[in-house]
Amino acid sequence: MRVAGLSSLMARLVESCADDWAAYTRHAFVRGLADGSLPEPCFRRYLAQDYLFLIHFARAYGLAAYKADTIADIRQAARALSAIIDAEMGLHVTYCAGWGLSEDAMAAEPEADATLAYTRYVLETGSSGDLLDLHVALAPCIVGYAEIGADLAADPGTRRDGNPYADWIDMYASDDYQEVARAEVGHLDQLMDRRGGLGRFAGLAATFRRATRLETAFWDMGLAAAP
Protein backbone atom coordinates (compact mmCIF):
# COMPACT_ATOMS: atom_id res chain seq x y z
CA MET A 1 0.00 0.00 0.00
CA ARG A 2 1.11 3.55 -0.63
CA VAL A 3 0.83 5.87 2.35
CA ALA A 4 1.36 8.96 0.17
CA GLY A 5 -1.95 10.49 -0.79
CA LEU A 6 -3.89 8.96 2.07
CA SER A 7 -5.81 11.32 4.31
CA SER A 8 -4.81 9.82 7.62
CA LEU A 9 -2.63 10.24 10.68
CA MET A 10 -0.17 7.82 9.10
CA ALA A 11 0.15 9.99 6.00
CA ARG A 12 0.79 13.07 8.16
CA LEU A 13 3.43 11.18 10.15
CA VAL A 14 5.22 10.07 6.98
CA GLU A 15 5.11 13.60 5.59
CA SER A 16 6.62 14.91 8.84
CA CYS A 17 9.81 12.87 8.26
CA ALA A 18 9.75 12.25 4.51
CA ASP A 19 13.54 11.96 4.18
CA ASP A 20 13.80 9.45 7.02
CA TRP A 21 10.90 7.45 5.57
CA ALA A 22 12.56 7.34 2.16
CA ALA A 23 15.88 6.27 3.72
CA TYR A 24 14.03 3.37 5.38
CA THR A 25 11.73 2.21 2.59
CA ARG A 26 14.34 2.66 -0.18
CA HIS A 27 17.33 1.43 1.79
CA ALA A 28 20.21 -0.40 0.11
CA PHE A 29 19.03 -3.58 1.84
CA VAL A 30 15.63 -3.19 0.17
CA ARG A 31 17.20 -2.49 -3.20
CA GLY A 32 19.28 -5.63 -2.77
CA LEU A 33 16.08 -7.62 -2.21
CA ALA A 34 14.61 -6.14 -5.37
CA ASP A 35 17.40 -7.12 -7.73
CA GLY A 36 18.57 -10.20 -5.83
CA SER A 37 22.03 -8.75 -5.20
CA LEU A 38 21.80 -8.73 -1.39
CA PRO A 39 24.51 -11.08 -0.04
CA GLU A 40 22.85 -14.12 1.49
CA PRO A 41 24.71 -13.79 4.85
CA CYS A 42 23.04 -10.37 5.21
CA PHE A 43 19.61 -11.87 4.71
CA ARG A 44 20.28 -14.72 7.14
CA ARG A 45 21.43 -12.23 9.75
CA TYR A 46 18.25 -10.24 9.20
CA LEU A 47 16.04 -13.35 9.42
CA ALA A 48 17.56 -14.50 12.72
CA GLN A 49 17.21 -11.06 14.28
CA ASP A 50 13.68 -10.73 12.91
CA TYR A 51 12.73 -13.89 14.82
CA LEU A 52 13.89 -12.23 18.04
CA PHE A 53 12.12 -9.04 17.00
CA LEU A 54 8.82 -10.91 16.62
CA ILE A 55 9.04 -12.11 20.22
CA HIS A 56 9.16 -8.53 21.46
CA PHE A 57 6.52 -7.49 18.93
CA ALA A 58 4.23 -10.03 20.58
CA ARG A 59 5.07 -8.55 23.98
CA ALA A 60 4.14 -5.12 22.62
CA TYR A 61 0.64 -6.37 21.83
CA GLY A 62 0.38 -7.81 25.33
CA LEU A 63 1.20 -4.30 26.52
CA ALA A 64 -1.40 -2.90 24.13
CA ALA A 65 -4.08 -5.04 25.76
CA TYR A 66 -3.01 -3.72 29.17
CA LYS A 67 -3.07 -0.12 27.93
CA ALA A 68 -6.46 -0.49 26.24
CA ASP A 69 -9.55 1.00 27.83
CA THR A 70 -12.20 -0.48 25.53
CA ILE A 71 -13.18 -4.06 24.81
CA ALA A 72 -12.66 -3.38 21.09
CA ASP A 73 -9.04 -2.35 21.66
CA ILE A 74 -8.40 -5.33 23.94
CA ARG A 75 -9.79 -7.64 21.28
CA GLN A 76 -7.65 -5.97 18.60
CA ALA A 77 -4.53 -6.45 20.70
CA ALA A 78 -5.46 -10.05 21.51
CA ARG A 79 -6.01 -10.88 17.83
CA ALA A 80 -2.67 -9.36 16.89
CA LEU A 81 -0.86 -11.20 19.69
CA SER A 82 -2.46 -14.50 18.66
CA ALA A 83 -1.61 -13.89 15.00
CA ILE A 84 2.07 -13.40 15.86
CA ILE A 85 2.40 -16.32 18.28
CA ASP A 86 0.06 -18.82 16.62
CA ALA A 87 0.66 -18.06 12.95
CA GLU A 88 3.40 -15.60 12.04
CA MET A 89 6.10 -17.17 14.21
CA GLY A 90 5.41 -20.57 12.69
CA LEU A 91 5.48 -19.20 9.16
CA HIS A 92 8.71 -17.37 9.91
CA VAL A 93 10.33 -20.53 11.30
CA THR A 94 9.26 -22.53 8.25
CA TYR A 95 10.55 -19.86 5.88
CA CYS A 96 13.86 -19.58 7.75
CA ALA A 97 14.35 -23.36 7.59
CA GLY A 98 14.63 -22.94 3.84
CA TRP A 99 17.59 -20.65 4.52
CA GLY A 100 19.28 -23.19 6.81
CA LEU A 101 18.18 -21.52 10.07
CA SER A 102 16.57 -23.63 12.77
CA GLU A 103 14.31 -22.17 15.46
CA ASP A 104 16.70 -23.30 18.20
CA ALA A 105 19.60 -21.57 16.48
CA MET A 106 17.63 -18.33 16.07
CA ALA A 107 16.41 -18.42 19.66
CA ALA A 108 20.02 -18.78 20.84
CA GLU A 109 21.23 -15.88 18.69
CA PRO A 110 22.35 -12.86 20.75
CA GLU A 111 20.23 -9.80 20.13
CA ALA A 112 21.97 -7.27 17.94
CA ASP A 113 22.22 -3.71 19.17
CA ALA A 114 19.74 -2.64 16.48
CA THR A 115 17.23 -5.25 17.63
CA LEU A 116 17.58 -4.19 21.24
CA ALA A 117 17.28 -0.52 20.36
CA TYR A 118 14.08 -0.74 18.36
CA THR A 119 12.20 -3.34 20.38
CA ARG A 120 12.96 -1.71 23.71
CA TYR A 121 12.09 1.69 22.29
CA VAL A 122 8.66 0.39 21.30
CA LEU A 123 8.08 -1.19 24.71
CA GLU A 124 9.33 1.85 26.61
CA THR A 125 7.22 4.19 24.49
CA GLY A 126 4.15 2.08 25.17
CA SER A 127 4.93 1.77 28.87
CA SER A 128 5.44 5.49 29.42
CA GLY A 129 2.74 6.67 27.02
CA ASP A 130 -0.72 5.54 26.00
CA LEU A 131 -2.09 3.19 23.36
CA LEU A 132 -1.73 5.79 20.62
CA ASP A 133 1.96 6.31 21.44
CA LEU A 134 2.52 2.55 21.28
CA HIS A 135 0.83 2.14 17.90
CA VAL A 136 2.71 5.10 16.44
CA ALA A 137 5.97 3.41 17.48
CA LEU A 138 4.85 0.15 15.85
CA ALA A 139 3.56 1.75 12.65
CA PRO A 140 6.86 2.08 10.73
CA CYS A 141 7.25 -1.69 10.89
CA ILE A 142 3.65 -2.70 10.14
CA VAL A 143 2.87 -0.14 7.45
CA GLY A 144 6.41 0.32 6.16
CA TYR A 145 6.80 -3.35 5.22
CA ALA A 146 3.49 -3.17 3.34
CA GLU A 147 4.69 -0.16 1.36
CA ILE A 148 8.03 -1.83 0.63
CA GLY A 149 6.36 -5.06 -0.48
CA ALA A 150 3.82 -3.28 -2.70
CA ASP A 151 6.44 -1.01 -4.25
CA LEU A 152 8.83 -3.85 -5.05
CA ALA A 153 6.06 -6.03 -6.47
CA ALA A 154 4.84 -3.20 -8.72
CA ASP A 155 8.29 -2.07 -9.85
CA PRO A 156 9.10 -3.43 -13.32
CA GLY A 157 12.77 -3.27 -12.33
CA THR A 158 12.31 -5.86 -9.59
CA ARG A 159 13.89 -9.14 -10.63
CA ARG A 160 11.47 -12.06 -10.50
CA ASP A 161 13.16 -15.01 -12.22
CA GLY A 162 15.85 -16.52 -10.07
CA ASN A 163 15.56 -13.89 -7.34
CA PRO A 164 16.09 -15.70 -4.00
CA TYR A 165 14.09 -12.96 -2.25
CA ALA A 166 11.00 -13.11 -4.47
CA ASP A 167 9.03 -15.03 -1.83
CA TRP A 168 9.82 -12.38 0.79
CA ILE A 169 8.58 -9.66 -1.55
CA ASP A 170 5.41 -11.61 -2.33
CA MET A 171 4.73 -12.14 1.37
CA TYR A 172 4.60 -8.43 2.13
CA ALA A 173 2.90 -7.54 -1.15
CA SER A 174 0.16 -10.12 -0.53
CA ASP A 175 -3.46 -9.08 -0.08
CA ASP A 176 -3.41 -10.53 3.43
CA TYR A 177 -0.51 -8.39 4.59
CA GLN A 178 -1.77 -5.29 2.79
CA GLU A 179 -5.04 -5.67 4.69
CA VAL A 180 -3.13 -5.88 7.98
CA ALA A 181 -1.46 -2.57 7.14
CA ARG A 182 -4.71 -0.91 6.07
CA ALA A 183 -6.30 -2.00 9.34
CA GLU A 184 -3.42 -0.46 11.27
CA VAL A 185 -3.80 2.84 9.40
CA GLY A 186 -7.48 2.86 10.28
CA HIS A 187 -6.80 1.96 13.90
CA LEU A 188 -4.33 4.82 14.21
CA ASP A 189 -7.03 7.23 13.02
CA GLN A 190 -9.51 5.83 15.53
CA LEU A 191 -7.03 6.22 18.37
CA MET A 192 -6.19 9.75 17.27
CA ASP A 193 -9.88 10.66 17.25
CA ARG A 194 -10.29 9.40 20.81
CA ARG A 195 -6.95 10.28 22.34
CA GLY A 196 -5.52 13.05 20.18
CA GLY A 197 -5.55 16.76 20.85
CA LEU A 198 -4.22 19.93 19.34
CA GLY A 199 -0.88 19.53 21.08
CA ARG A 200 -0.23 15.84 20.47
CA PHE A 201 0.97 15.68 16.90
CA ALA A 202 4.48 17.03 17.50
CA GLY A 203 5.21 14.37 20.10
CA LEU A 204 3.73 11.60 17.96
CA ALA A 205 5.79 12.78 14.99
CA ALA A 206 8.96 12.65 17.10
CA THR A 207 8.14 9.08 18.16
CA PHE A 208 7.43 8.06 14.57
CA ARG A 209 10.66 9.62 13.31
CA ARG A 210 12.75 7.81 15.92
CA ALA A 211 11.05 4.49 15.21
CA THR A 212 11.59 4.96 11.47
CA ARG A 213 15.30 5.65 12.02
CA LEU A 214 15.53 2.52 14.19
CA GLU A 215 14.00 0.51 11.35
CA THR A 216 16.70 1.90 9.07
CA ALA A 217 19.31 0.82 11.61
CA PHE A 218 17.81 -2.68 11.47
CA TRP A 219 18.52 -2.81 7.73
CA ASP A 220 22.03 -1.46 8.42
CA MET A 221 22.54 -4.31 10.87
CA GLY A 222 21.71 -6.82 8.14
CA LEU A 223 24.07 -5.19 5.65
CA ALA A 224 26.89 -5.26 8.19
CA ALA A 225 26.95 -9.06 7.87
CA ALA A 226 28.27 -8.82 4.31
CA PRO A 227 31.36 -11.00 3.86
Residues 6+ apart with CB under 8 A from 94: none
| Phi, psi of 108, deg, nearest 5 | -85, -5
30: number of Cβ within 10 Å: 19
Q: What's the CA gap between 158 and 163, in Å, rounded?
A: 9
Burial of 42 (0-12, 13-18, 19+ CB in 10 A): buried
**Contact status, residue 201 vs residue 111, Cβ threshold 8 Å:** no
Catalytic residue among 42, 96, 141, 147: 141
DSSP type of residue 224: T
Residue of 17, 147, 184, 215 with catalytic role: 215
CA 88 to chain centre: 13
The answer to whether residue 141 is catalytic is: yes
d(CA 111, CA 149): 25
Q: Respond yes or no: is residue 215 known to be catalytic.
A: yes
* Cα-only R_g, the chain: 17
Helix, coil or strand: residue 11: helix
Query: Hey, which residues are catalytic here?
Result: 141, 215
